[in-house]
Chain A
Amino acid sequence: MRRWKVLAVTAAAALLATACGSGGGSSGSTSGPVTLTIWENYGTEQNATALKNLAKAFEKLHKNVTVNVVSQPADNYFALLQAAAVSKTGPDLAVMWTGLFTLQYKEFLANLKGKIPAADLARIDPNALKWTSDQFNAANGPYVIPLENQFYIGFYNKAAFAKAGVTAVPADWSQLFSACKKLKAAGYTPLTYGNGGQPLGAEFYPWYDMSYMMIGAHQVTDWQQLYSGQIPWTSAANEAQLSTWAKLKSEGCTNSDVLTKTNNLGDFETGKAAMMVDGTWDTQKFTSALGSKVAAFVPPFSDTPIKGVVDFAGDGLSMTSYSQHQHQALQFLEFMTTPQAAQIVNAAGLIPAITGTSTSNPVNQQMLNFVSADHLTVYPMLDNVVQPDVVNTGSKVLPSVLNGSISPKSALSSMQTTFGQLPSSQRGSTYP
């Protein structure tokens, strides 16, 4: 009898502990100490550093606010965000990708028009802000405050080029292939691929490469037709680009485990690999590891000299519509538009999106020079301006094209099929 009583009491105590010890995201009170929760999917990128430092600086300015930055698994970040929106247990602020990603999730994001003073919004680079609004028109009010300006870009190792006798940076497909041959002969992995880098899944993310392939195939004004379907995914130009891309692996330009290599960044940082396609979120990693040996170049995925570069504010922070601490969350977003915040972003090796500020990282500056000095056309990130369903299909099939497991034709027709299944509202001639 006594044993039973003890067991019952223990069980009751444990139950009580669970009921009380729930914790949960933010605390309830509006006056007094407040905890802001921010979810991010940055993994180990520089963006994570930037956000962490922004949080710390914000806490210093607002003594009664604690900022809790939570790193969520990147593979299923948006899945979790959606689930959390259903149960309204999500964060106050969340990292959100711009372009059509934002519009896909805007149901639970707060439109910041009128909530953030126009003076603050005016400080943001207008090219960055427009992609965060309905119809990509900033007058409709942004859903996202961009964190930084990003580039999808190529990085190369100058010392490796010199050693292999590559004198000019390749500007088109044929120059790229011949550079690869020289680099391979000198003992380097010419172009390294893998699933390290931007933490997005168990395979590598094909949209940096895909963006540049589409830059090589189409003018920037024609990209809208990829969205509306006037240029089908299965067009000859696209197929040709993909075929040449697949040759990168088949002709030995890359490592053989393109889909599963986990430390492709490591290989580039230690100088084993000569080139890599990545983005500004890793620039500082490379400059820290390689110093002046690393430089930026535009991935030359084109038959004629490549003339465009992907320069786009790809992500930022949004406020959730169900946040219990809208006042403090908005204060944080406003803080992101200040020069002090721009400095923090710059110190993490990123390019701030605030007009009048710039980057102090020389390799980032090279990228900006591609636009300002070399007058390359500015393109957005392709995955941010294409329907999310098509992006999903592309993420699934395009890696296999590089791996040589499926043909460009079948990959593109999968994407075309997905496009065909979209409701007409998502296939219009203008963006939603």
Chain B
Amino acid sequence: MAADSRTASPGAAPAAGKAPRKRALRARRRSRVGLIFGIMTLIAVVMLYPFWYMLDNAFRTQSQFEQQRGNSAVSWGQLFSELPAGRELFNSTLICVVSILLILAVSTTAGFAFAKLRYRGSSTVFLAVVAALMVPLQSIIIPEYVNLGKLGLINTYLGAILVYVALGTPFATFLMATYYRGISDDLIEAAVMDGLGYERTFLRIALPLSWPAIATVTVLQFIQIWDDLLVGLLFLQNPQQRTITVGLAALSAGRTTSIPVLMAGSFLSAVPAIVVYLIFQRYLVRGLTLGMGK
């Protein structure tokens, strides 16, 4: 097999008499590369177009927008006067960070338990937790709203956070469990033999090893929570507690006739999620690979 692959690989140095064929081969390969590069660039343009559109039009006034000409920074100021945008950005950040911390706390422990510390019935419990992935938000949003309303948690950060944690736990647990499955049992058992309890083993050995999975969960959940609309709309009814995404939707539904203001707001709300993604993207690929299992 190896010998075949060596002779089969293109561009391998053949005998001198085959030089023109090699040149033709290389030329064809180059044009093929060029074609691929061209298509990829085209796709990139399609993907990036909305960002360009947002940014371009955010720097216009409404009349400039209609004529598609001219620039002005007026809309950004308008954005901050129509929305408490700074406050809403803070709200989004706070809610995201706390929710993710809680999700990680809950899913790493459970993931480790399901992967390494099986007990009678744990596989069923695990299945139930992962099956909760299937529960659509819309199916539970009404009872959830009423329950949390009875507890007085509407219009509080905690109420929204609890809902996000509930929605993010199943998938996060699944991902962490899959990852921990890849850690050898012997490593765990050795640590336990050395006198560490199972809990300590988790904290000092398993947890530090699972940064890629943790990063994956962080990125995916951050995007999910930052960009969420329905939960924020219902559970955070005042602009003072709202997230930026909900504030933006409220602005667009309020029929502000200034599209540039909407575009400015859109861009502002899109940036943090993009930043988080770019920081963690290395881990994302690794985490997804492991999540799929090999």
A72 contact from B97, B98, B250, Cβ within 8 A: B250
Within 73-111 of B, Cβ neighbours of A (below 8 Å) are at 94-95, 97-98, 101-102, 105
B253 contact from A24, A88, A199, Cβ within 8 A: A199
Within 2-37 of A, Cβ neighbours of B (below 8 Å) are at 4, 10-11, 14-15, 17-19, 21-25, 37
Alpha-carbon distance A84/B236, docked complex (angstroms): 10
Alpha-carbon distance A25/B242, docked complex (angstroms): 12
Is A373 engaged at the interface, CB distance under 8 Å to the other chain? no
Whether the Cβ atoms of B157 and A43 lie closer than 8 Å is no
* Minimum CB–CB distance for A3 against chain B, Å: 9
Alpha-carbon distance A199/B158, docked complex (angstroms): 32
Alpha-carbon distance A199/B250, docked complex (angstroms): 11
Whether the Cβ atoms of B157 and A73 lie closer than 8 Å is no
* Minimum CB–CB distance for A296 against chain B, Å: 22
Alpha-carbon distance A86/B144, docked complex (angstroms): 12
Query: Which residue in chain B gives the minimum CB-CB distance to A13?
Result: B98
Is A196 engaged at the interface, CB distance under 8 Å to the other chain? yes
Whether the Cβ atoms of A44 and B256 lie closer than 8 Å is yes
Known contacts: A23-B240, A70-B238, A70-B239. The answer to whether A18 contacts B257 by CB under 8 A is: no
Contacts of B17 in A (CB 8 A): none
* Minimum CB–CB distance for B101 against chain A, Å: 5
Whether the Cβ atoms of A87 and B157 lie closer than 8 Å is no
* Minimum CB–CB distance for B260 against chain A, Å: 12
Alpha-carbon distance A266/B257, docked complex (angstroms): 9
Is B156 engaged at the interface, CB distance under 8 Å to the other chain? yes
Query: Which residue in chain A gives the minimum CB-CB distance to B239?
Result: A70
Whether the Cβ atoms of B257 and A262 lie closer than 8 Å is yes
Q: B143-185: contact bitstring with A at CB < 8 Å (1 yes, 0 no)?
A: 0011011100011111001000000000000000000000000
* Minimum CB–CB distance for A186 against chain B, Å: 22
Within 171-202 of B, Cβ neighbours of A (below 8 Å) are at none
Within 67-90 of A, Cβ neighbours of B (below 8 Å) are at 70-76, 80, 83-84, 86-90
Alpha-carbon distance A21/B157, docked complex (angstroms): 7
Query: Which residue in chain B gives the minimum CB-CB distance to A40?
Result: B254
Contacts of B62 in A (CB 8 A): 263, 266
Whether the Cβ atoms of A44 and B254 lie closer than 8 Å is yes
Contacts of A76 in B (CB 8 A): 233, 253
Interface residues on A, range: 35 or more
Most A-side CB within 10 Å, residue of B97, B161, B255:
B255
Contacts of A11 in B (CB 8 A): 98, 101-102, 105
Alpha-carbon distance A71/B256, docked complex (angstroms): 12
Whether the Cβ atoms of A43 and B256 lie closer than 8 Å is yes
Known contacts: A44-B257, A88-B149, A263-B257. The answer to whether A18 contacts B66 by CB under 8 A is: no
Contacts of B101 in A (CB 8 A): 10-11, 14
Whether the Cβ atoms of A18 and B156 lie closer than 8 Å is yes
Contacts of A80 in B (CB 8 A): 233-234, 237
Count of chain B residues with Cβ under 8 Å from any Cβ of A? 38
Contacts of B95 in A (CB 8 A): 18
Query: Which residue in chain B gives the minimum CB-CB distance to A18?
Result: B157
Contacts of A23 in B (CB 8 A): 155-156, 238, 240-241
Alpha-carbon distance A262/B66, docked complex (angstroms): 11
Known contacts: A73-B250, A87-B146. The answer to whether A18 contacts B161 by CB under 8 A is: yes
Query: Which residue in chain B gives the minimum CB-CB distance to A14?
Result: B98
Contacts of B237 in A (CB 8 A): 25, 72, 80, 83-84, 89-90
Is A345 engaged at the interface, CB distance under 8 Å to the other chain? no
Whether the Cβ atoms of B234 and A262 lie closer than 8 Å is no
Is A381 engaged at the interface, CB distance under 8 Å to the other chain? no
Is B259 engaged at the interface, CB distance under 8 Å to the other chain? yes
Is A265 engaged at the interface, CB distance under 8 Å to the other chain? yes
Classify the interface of chain B: helix, strand, loop or mixed: helix
Whether the Cβ atoms of B155 and A24 lie closer than 8 Å is yes
Alpha-carbon distance A23/B157, docked complex (angstroms): 9
B155 contact from A71, A89, A266, Cβ within 8 A: A89
Is B278 engaged at the interface, CB distance under 8 Å to the other chain? no
Contacts of A73 in B (CB 8 A): 233, 249-250, 252-254
Whether the Cβ atoms of B254 and A199 lie closer than 8 Å is yes
Whether the Cβ atoms of A18 and B158 lie closer than 8 Å is yes
Is B203 engaged at the interface, CB distance under 8 Å to the other chain? yes
* Minimum CB–CB distance for A320 against chain B, Å: 13
Q: A175-213: contact bitstring with B at CB < 8 Å (1 yes, 0 no)?
A: 000000000000000000001111110000000000000
Known contacts: A17-B94, A19-B158, A89-B149. The answer to whether A262 contacts B254 by CB under 8 A is: no
Most A-side CB within 10 Å, residue of B158, B233, B253:
B253
Q: A211-230: contact bitstring with B at CB < 8 Å (1 yes, 0 no)?
A: 00000000000000000000
Whether the Cβ atoms of B257 and A71 lie closer than 8 Å is no
A43 contact from B97, B98, B255, Cβ within 8 A: B255
Whether the Cβ atoms of A14 and B254 lie closer than 8 Å is no
Within 337-353 of A, Cβ neighbours of B (below 8 Å) are at none
* Minimum CB–CB distance for B165 against chain A, Å: 11
Q: B208-244: contact bitstring with A at CB < 8 Å (1 yes, 0 no)?
A: 0000000000000000000000000110011111000
A74 contact from B240, B253, B259, Cβ within 8 A: B253
Whether the Cβ atoms of A24 and B156 lie closer than 8 Å is yes
Alpha-carbon distance A395/B98, docked complex (angstroms): 42
Whether the Cβ atoms of A25 and B155 lie closer than 8 Å is yes
Alpha-carbon distance A25/B241, docked complex (angstroms): 10
Contacts of B256 in A (CB 8 A): 43-44
Alpha-carbon distance A18/B66, docked complex (angstroms): 43
Most B-side CB within 10 Å, residue of A18, A44, A198:
A18
B234 contact from A1, A15, A75, A83, Cβ within 8 A: A83
Whether the Cβ atoms of A263 and B66 lie closer than 8 Å is yes
Whether the Cβ atoms of A87 and B238 lie closer than 8 Å is no
B residues adjacent to A (C-beta < 8 A): 62, 66, 94-95, 97-98, 101-102, 105, 145-146, 148-150, 154-158, 161, 203-204, 233-234, 237-241, 249-250, 252-257, 259
**30 A-B contacts, Cβ less than 8 Å apart?**
A11-B105, A14-B97, A18-B157, A18-B158, A19-B157, A22-B156, A22-B157, A24-B238, A25-B155, A37-B238, A43-B255, A43-B256, A44-B257, A71-B250, A72-B254, A73-B250, A74-B255, A76-B253, A80-B233, A84-B154, A86-B149, A89-B154, A89-B155, A196-B257, A199-B253, A199-B254, A199-B255, A200-B255, A265-B257, A266-B66
A residues adjacent to B (C-beta < 8 A): 1, 4, 10-11, 14-15, 17-19, 21-25, 37, 41, 43-44, 70-76, 80, 83-84, 86-90, 195-200, 262-263, 265-266
